[in-house]
Amino acid sequence: MTRMAGKVVLITGARQGVGRSCAIRLAEQGADIVALDQPGPESDAALAGLAAAVRDLLRKVVVATADIRDLEAVAAAVQAGVDELGPLDVVVANAGIFDAPGPSWEIGEEVWVRSIDVNVTGTWHTVKAGVAQLNPIGGSVIIMSSTATVKSHAGSSHYSAAKNAITGLAMTLANELGERSIRVNSLHPGSVATPMILNPATFARLRPDLEHPAAEDVAQVLAGRTLLPVPWVDPIDVSNAVLFLASDESRYVTGLQMVIDAGLAQQVAS
């Protein structure tokens, strides 16, 4: 419980999935957490549960809601966390969406704009607000990208464009912030066992041959796309990578694009 002792971590998209897993994993290793998610009753309840889990680990936590498309709201939430816990040491820009898929020429304007606003502008807002509150001795910024930057699939141009954009943002930030001893790296998960994948709409898209496909039906398809014999990785696999990049164990690692996908991006016949 010492790899993150004394560090304060900001995590967006913290109420569920990878974000929640990161909050718990880093708290297990001694970090105090500023947990941010979008406004709404579901977020309030989920963040309350997360806060209780972090406190059970004897760590401090501040939870807040803000739409990451709203820079002022994000900055205010981050400021509230810093006021209570102290300067940030780590920023995990995890929040993102995979909006309604479809051929590039059929994606609606609203869907395209929302994908770019949340995934790209929201990530920039998170980093902008977070870096302003980083410890003056340095820190770590971790941007959650995707294997969509190295292996795209039909029907996801809005998502692929957004994730490629934030990967470019991470590379630029690594150059800009290095002199301040701030490391910037991006993570590129493949399919992860979270609601972004495990939902009826995705099941139906991946198994149109079945009337009511379930997770086990989709697992057969996804396992055929990876080198390792698994359909997806678990949130803990991503949060373990976040822990490495957040800790001093990676003190000289910056500008890295770390892929966690069970070999999805390397699979030729998919």
Q: Tell me the Cα Rg of the chain.
A: 18
3-state DSSP call for residue 141? strand
What is the β-pairing status of strands 8-12 and 90-93? parallel
Concatenated DSSP letters for 154-189? TT-HHHHHHHHHHHHHHHHHHHHHGGGTEEEEEEEE
Which residue is catalytic, options 98, 159, 203, 232?
A: 159
252 is catalytic: no
Cα 196 to the center of its chain, rounded Å? 12
For 262, other C-beta atoms within 10 Å of its C-beta total 23
Half-sphere exposure (CA, 13 Å, Cβ side) for 259?
A: 13
Contacts of 76 (CB under 8 A, 6+ apart): 66
Cα 161 to the center of its chain, rounded Å? 16
Concatenated DSSP letters for 10-39? EEES-SSHHHHHHHHHHHHTT-EEEEEE-S
C-alpha 255/C-alpha 146 separation (Å) is 15
Report, as residue numbers or ranges, the catalytic residues.
159
